[in-house]
Chains A and B, each alone.
Chain A
Amino acid sequence: MPKFTLNGQEISFEPGETVMQAAWREGIEIPHYCWHPGLSVAANCRMCLVQVESGRQMEMPQLVFDEDKGAYVPATKPKLQPACQLAAADGMVISSTNDEVKAAQAAVQEFLLLNHPVDCPICDQAGECKLQDYYYTHQATLKRKLTEPVHKPKGVRFGPTIVYDAERCIMCTRCIRVCDELAKDHVLDMRERGNKNEIVLAPGRELDHKYTLMTEHVCPVGALTSRDFRFKARVWFLKSGKGVCTGCATGCNTHVDYDPRYGKVYRLRPRDNPDVNKFWMCDDGMMTYMRHDTDRLDMPTEGRGQERRAIGEREALELAADKIRAVDPSELAFVLSAQSTTEDNLALVKLAEALGADRMYLAALGGWEGDDILRSDDNNPNRAGATHAAGDIELKSVGELLSDVQAGSVRGVVALGWATAESLKELAPLATLDSVVSLTSHVGALPAVAAVTIPVADIYELDGSFVNEKGISQSFETVLPPPVGIEPAWKAISDLGALLGVDVGFTDLDGLRQSLLESAEAAQ
């Protein structure tokens, strides 16, 4: 493999790679604004200038102040090259830290801050802004320009999701390239020149495609801000947990940013994964965090409609056990959920097996449009995982469950999750049954027809895994503690099994995961 030397360190590269790419792969950062590993090379910010010390040196004329003569005299300086555009060659010796390069970086940084409003206290990017970071690492000098900066439009609404501030913009064109290359929609462009440069919308258009929040995500400064996250939190208060998007069967990897003081999730950010989502997520996926707080079921309930009342946790489990006991296992339906983790689904399957029931159904959401960029046609993150938990059999739909109920072959239902494509009206036959138990984190049509509901932990409150449409199983961690008295569904199912006097075959999450592993190995 060919190699080049960067700051004394040997880096191997694939032929055709640029210096920046090879260094990035090795985890070495050459300072940059406009380069992004997932986008094309623009080489317009000039922050990644490096000196190629091997080979013939190109020189540039410059004027240097001579103290003795008291005047500027002609001199030369080496010609620097942008690392993001510089194709790596075998044996190259490159420096990104020598004095010439440092002077260039400081000059570029000062140039970019020339007309910057420095309104960091009210800027949402503050704390994760590259202008701030590089100011400390590469400039750290006082401002020399004392005249009034050039003023440009502020707070321009680009669409339903994005607000643009031209004064903060450094014209790196990352947002334009995201629209062009990721969303395939040339809705943003640049106009004017020099310090009057600004990003503009295509005439008659709004920034309204499915990947608008990615423009904000790639913006290295505070020029583009998300209208949802705008002014909501300061990023230095936020902690980050690893999650998987629940929006669709693609299973994009996410950072879940939450404030530990209030236990509140503020936003999702894509987490790099070259096999699944690369660097990106869609807008709908980014907004799935809002489900967490809205319409939570926080108390166990009994009864339906007007007669619904809150009961104690133990009372709810005992009541659920009574309802299940009242129905013959052959007439008992178990509804898995394509929105719940593989572990929770497997726990329910194990309860069904322990009871000797074999009617398995799958509840899933619908009404969603996929595309050929990231979005899957199926907006359920774990249809494959739920199917696998049930032993890779064809699971019947909720529609079939309703007809089975009407035919009288099903007299009791144990349902996991809140998500169904069917409306409350369509689910009405279930409300005629006495034994409908729902284990759910949120309220919804399915819990609404249940005689007993048991609240369980939401997706950010448990360890679990999803299997995406490509068959990749991705696990995620507990981000927030669940509300007091609420447990993950597998735990509630284990308690239910103990009350029913059957051996469900697991006592903890490791046990469940072990049996998942065994079944996966058996399948191979």
Chain B
Amino acid sequence: MTAQVKVIKKPGRTVAEQVYLPEIAKGLGFAMGRFFKNTFGPKASKEIATVKYPEERIEYPERFRGIHRLTQRADGSPRCVACLCCSTACPAQCIYIEPAEYEPDDPRYGYERYPSVFMIDELRCIFCGYCVEACPCDAIRMDTGMHMPPSTRREHFLYDKETLLSIPGRDGTYLTANPRHEPGDPTHPGIDREHGH
């Protein structure tokens, strides 16, 4: 079997192209035409792909991993139960959590714990999203649609619990679409000896 060879002819140059100067004039004419159209022409006729950041901004794609936020419960407390799954999954080791225990008279006592300290070093973070994947409570999300605000000081990138709780999601709320059943709620599966069985 012989290979079929298709010969493509090299495009030649016309005399006008080889003279060079008419082509230069044509090119300059095209560039200057665009320049005047985009600078002085009516807005609709402009063909610019870039935006004038930061005055103009393009919205990030829906699944963009922005800076973290801690989601809240209906009463404003963090959904986080300080299980340390996120800091275990974190390849950059940028999450520091200190768990604490609810008081014995709290309905959540025994069922849950909460973070007394929750700190993310956003400079060390590589924005891989593993913490969001690991979270069993939908407590940490990266759906803020924001990248990191710049700063000249290192400590401004250490986001503590209050900061993380104060960042809303892209929809402007501090909750998530996934409902919670709090201990003590009638919908919560845990029933203590006084209330059932």
A: residues with CB less than 8 A from B are 117, 119, 121-122, 148-155, 157, 165, 196, 230-232, 234, 236-237, 261
Can you list 5 pairs linking A and B with CB atoms under 8 Å apart?
A117-B190, A121-B85, A121-B136, A157-B104, A196-B197
Q: In the bound complex, do residue A151 and residue B191 qualify as a contact, i.e. CB atoms below 8 Å apart?
A: yes
| Contacting residues of chain B (68-83) with chain A, CB-CB under 8 angstroms | 81-83
| List of B residues within 8 angstroms of A261 by Cβ | 93
CB-based nearest B residue for A195: B197
Q: Is the CB of A231 within 8 A of B113?
A: yes
Interface string of B96-123 (1 = CB under 8 A from A): 0001110010000111110000000000
Chain B residues lying within 8 Å of A122, measured Cβ to Cβ, are 81-83, 112-113
A122, A149, A157, A232 — most chain B CB neighbours (10 Å): A122
A149 to chain B minimum Cβ distance, whole angstroms, is 8
Contact B196 A121 (CB under 8 A): no
Assess the A151–B197 pair: CB atoms within 8 A. Answer: yes
User: Contact at A231–B100, with CB atoms within 8 Å?
Assistant: yes
Q: Does B173 touch A at the CB level, under 8 Å?
A: no
Q: How far in angstroms is the closest Cβ of chain B from A55?
A: 45
Set of chain A residues within 8 Å of B99, measured between Cβ atoms: 231-232
Closest 3 CB pairs of A and B: A155-B110, A154-B110, A121-B83
* Bound complex: CA A232 to CA B104 (Å): 18
Closest to B93 in A: A261
Which residues from A are CB-within-8-Å of B197?
150-151, 196
Residues of B within 8 A of A (CB): 81-85, 88, 93, 99-101, 104, 109-113, 136-137, 189-193, 196-197
A230:B81 contact, CB within 8 angstroms: no
Known: A122-B113, A151-B191, A151-B197. A230 touches B101 (CB 8 A): yes
Q: Within 8 Å CB of A153, what residues of B?
A: 110, 192-193
Contacts of A237 in B (CB 8 A): 88
Residue of A nearest to B137 (CB): A121
Q: Give B81's nearest chain A residue, CB to CB.
A: A122
Which residue of chain A has its CB nearest to the CB of B116?
A231
A151 and B82 form a contact (CB under 8 A): no
| C-alpha spacing A153/B195, complex, angstroms | 12
A150-B197, A151-B192, A157-B104 known; A236 and B136 CB under 8 Å? Answer: no
Contact B81 A231 (CB under 8 A): no
- Minimum CB distance partner of A151 in chain B: B191
B109 CB to nearest chain A CB (Å): 5
Smallest CB separation, A36 vs chain B (Å): 27
For the complex formed, measure the closest distance between the CB of A320 and the CB atoms of chain B, giving whole angstroms.
40
Q: Which residues of the partner chain B approach A230 to less than 8 Å between Cβ atoms?
A: 101
Smallest CB separation, B8 vs chain A (Å): 61
Are A121 and B110 touching (Cβ within 8 A)? no
Q: B111: which A residues are within 8 A, CB to CB?
A: 119, 154
List chain A residues, Cβ under 8 A from B84: 234
Q: Of all chain A residues, which has the CB nearest B112? A: A122
Tell me the nearest residue of chain B to A156, going by C-beta. B110
On chain B, the residues within 8 Å of A196 by CB distance are 197
Q: Which residues of B contact A165 (CB under 8 A)?
A: 110
| B84 nearest CB neighbor, chain A only | A234
Q: How far is the CA of A231 from the CA of B101 in the complex (A)?
A: 8
Extra contacts, 10 of them, besides A121-B137, A155-B104, A237-B88 (Cβ < 8 A), are: A122-B81, A122-B82, A122-B83, A151-B196, A154-B109, A154-B192, A155-B109, A231-B101, A232-B99, A234-B88
Of all chain A residues, the one with the shortest Cβ separation from B111 is A154
Which chain A residues border B83 with CB–CB below 8 Å?
121-122
Distance between Cα atoms of A196 and B113 in the complex (Å)? 25
Point out the residue from A148, A154, A231 that lies within 8 Å of B82, measured CB to CB. Answer: A231
B55 → A minimal CB distance (Å)? 44
Inter-chain contact B81/A148, CB cutoff 8 Å: no
Shortest distance between the CB of B87 and any CB in chain A (Å) = 8
* Cβ contact within 8 Å between A152 and B193: yes
In the complex the two chains form, what is the Cα distance from A122 to B84 in whole Å? Answer: 9
**What residues of chain B lie closer than 8 Å to A231, measured between beta carbons?**
82, 99-101, 113
- A166, chain B: closest CB distance, angstroms: 10
A117, A151, A157: which has the most chain B beta carbons within 10 Å?
A151
